[in-house]
Structure 1
Amino acid sequence: MRHVRCFLTIARCGSMTAAAREMNSSQPAVSRSLAELEKLVGQPLFERGGRGLTLTEAGERLRRHLDPAVSQMEEGVRLAGGTAAVPRVSVGMLPNVARTLAMRSSVMFKEDAPDVDLELHWANVSELIVRLNRGEIDMLLGRLLSLEHMDGVSFEHLYPENIVFAVHHTHPFAARPDDVTLSEVGAELVVVPLAGTIIRRELDKFMTARGLARFRRQIETVSFEFTRSFLRETPSVAAIPLGAIRHELAEGELVKLGLSGEELVGSVGISFRSGRALSPEAARFAEVVRVVARDYA
């Protein structure tokens, strides 16, 4: 068990030093445990590089099997000791659904199941996928994940969602939203998703198809709270998922421009760990999500 916990901690932390710190151990001890496990497996489990330790293909296969197994063992120990936890549903959410699908589903679920604890986790996609694989979260709400994150993950489509271009209602573009061209947007300061994110890749495809590599003046961020505040304070344009600004559009604070394209349409849904059954409480939450999603379809 020591070797298993050591391996999973290194995989999560990405370095021997960080893993040793988390385990309250020494780096030589952690390194020794990993070496013993790799000898037992018969091949390396990590690649050593300038950016730390990354799982090899063998290491990734091992992690996918050990993560849920360890979670089940820990739950079994709690049950055997008579300390079973209160029924709990743990959900990961991406920023585009935090104020809409996740929020409304949470309200409806707690009204229906007040005695079930509900945990909502907000982190980057890679961290949420690690938690999903480990069984720490039951499902993930948000846009369809990129291919590198879909191994061992199943996705249930709920509704399509556009990336939209938006401005504050005081911006000159707000007076003629349907007539604004991409060239005009390109002359403005534009807030775009951070490089490497799912929505940035969709935006890049849209731009490339129209002969543009990037905006001349741009700010990159994954914080939609920053983007909304920035639009209020500056005469700028934002490329942002519709779900992140539904409230502001409905209230007239922000105005959506008429620019659109099939490259900007993504799928919003629920990501599950393939082959892992949901608890009755988690299945109940998933059904609530499906009901709420109908309003956005």
Structure 2
Amino acid sequence: MDATVNGNSRFLRRGLKIVHLRLAAALGETGAIGIAAARVGISQPAASRLLAEMEEIAGRPIHLRSGRGIQLTPEGAALARRAARALAEIGAAEREVADLGRGLSGHVRLGAVTGPALDRVLPALRAARVALPLVTTEVVVAPSDPLCDLLLSGGVDFALARLAGGRDPSLFDLQPLEDEPVSLLVRPGHALARAGAIAPADLLAYDWVLPEPGTLLHRTVLERLAALGLPPPPGRLSTSSFLLTLAMLRESNAIAPLAAAVARRFAAGPEAGPEAGLVVLPIDLGIVVPTYSLVTLRGARLTPAAERLRDLIQAQTA
């Protein structure tokens, strides 16, 4: 006859209990019913009764008397080994449930625009490796508009972003964090990087790599240039791809406005060689992208793990 019927163990149907498993595991370790009973926290007569119950449940002898102790039969040894494994799994389940409740394990999905991804998410993930070693994280770096879509679809738990135009603000909870100053980056060896002084009009002699028209950074750059009395910059490439922007900068004389957090990570000094990082131009046009926020769906409750990672991110400063 099979040991299980429709997933229901015959042992369980016959009354096998946790205390039986604990005694079996203790007998497997000690070979002495008195010591095993003490480990389980019961009297020796009670342990003897439980042992008799286990043999009735198993339908086979599981021990033999051996001097002052007992010797497990092959069936008894198998039961003791499996009992120890089952108790270990129960203990692991207890720890996992407790860790999930405290946010010490789990999986977190978050999104961020590029600057906050470097300034806040990256150092928070470094801290989480120590504080939350069992939490796994998935990070989506993208513009605010697709991040809002991911929030609405449940693709991320929270995002560091801005509420994209046309979005219903009643659907989101926003905690404002910081605005983003913008720097201008070029390749090492660029003529402007070697110039002693740069006038704003000098910048218009070169192509600019901007995000697609309609994006927040694109609008912010054009509005600031207009406020300075300057026309839109020349540009034959528009892209929100960070990697493509970096490649274009390294292989041409183009200029790219990027968040200062990005510039700090990838910039080298103005005298850097051609294999070094990019160079921040020594001119501040006063381009500042409006404040980004920690964005969640209104009324949504974060998992404990997501709450802990969110708190680590909030603790970072640019």
Structure 1 length-normalised TM: 0.62
Q: Contact conserved, 1:193 with 1:239, CA < 8 A, in 2?
A: no
Q: How far 1:140 sits from its partner (Å)?
A: 0.6
**Is residue 283 of structure 2 the alignment partner of residue 283 of structure 1?**
no
Q: Is 1:176 paired with 2:200? A: no
Indicate the SS of the match to 1:189: coil
Q: Compared with structure 1, are the counterparts of its residues 193 and 181 closer, same or farther at alpha carbon in structure 2 (3 Å cutoff)?
A: farther
Q: Which letter does structure 1 place at the counterpart of 2:110?
A: V
Sort the Cα spacing of 1:150 and 1:260 in 2 relative to 1 into closer, same or farther, 3 A. Answer: farther
User: Aligned AA for 1:280?
Assistant: P
SS of the aligned residue for 1:87 comes to: strand
Structure of higher CA gyration radius = 2
Shift of 1:218: 3.8
State yes or no: 1:232 paired with 2:256. no
Q: Does 1:90 align with 2:109?
A: yes
Match 1:164 to one of 167, 171, 183: 183
What do you get for the CA RMSD once the two structures are aligned? 2.6
Query: Helix, strand or coil for the counterpart of 2:208?
Result: strand
Question: Which segments of 5 or more consecutive residues in structure 1 lack a partner in the other structure?
Answer: 1-84
- Report the Cα distance in structure 2 between the residues aligned to 1:284 and 1:150, rounded to whole angstroms: 27
Distance 1:153 1:287, change over 3 A: same
CA contact (8 A) 1:88 1:118 kept: yes
Alpha-carbon distance between aligned partners in 2 of 1:158 and 1:124, rounded to the nearest angstrom: 17
Q: For 1:117 and 1:216, how far apart are their aligned partners in 2? A: 43
Q: Which runs of 5+ in 2 are unaligned?
A: 1-99
Taking the aligned partners of 1:120 and 1:221, their CA distance within structure 2 comes to 21
2:225 maps to: 207
| SS at 2:134 equivalent | coil
Task: Return the offset for 1:202.
Answer: 0.9
Matches within 5 A, 1:1-297: 87-142=106-161, 144-149=162-167, 151=169, 152-176=171-195, 179-249=197-267, 253-292=277-316, 294=317, 296=318
Structure 2 distance, partners of 1:172, 1:125, is 34
CA–CA separation in structure 2 for the residues paired with 1:161 and 1:191: 18
Letter in 2 for 1:270: L
TM-score (norm 2): 0.58
Distance 1:92 1:228 in 2: 21
Q: Which amino acid in structure 2 is aligned with residue 233 of structure 1?
A: E
Distance in 2 (CA, whole Å) between partners of 1:90 and 1:216 is 38
| Displacement after TM superposition at 1:231 (Å) | 1.6
Contact 2:179 2:288 in 1 (8 A): no
Residues 141-200 of structure 1 show CA distances to partners (whole Å, capped at 9, x for unaligned) of 24x3334236222322223321221222211111236x2122111111211122111111
SS of 1:236's equivalent? coil
| Counterpart code for 2:152 | N
| Contact in 1 for aligned 2:151/2:297 (Cα 8 Å) | yes
Write the distance in 1 (CA, Å) between the matches of 2:152 and 2:116.
Answer: 21
CA shift in 2, pair 1:250/1:139, >3 Å = farther
* Structure 1: distance between partners of 2:203 and 2:285: 15
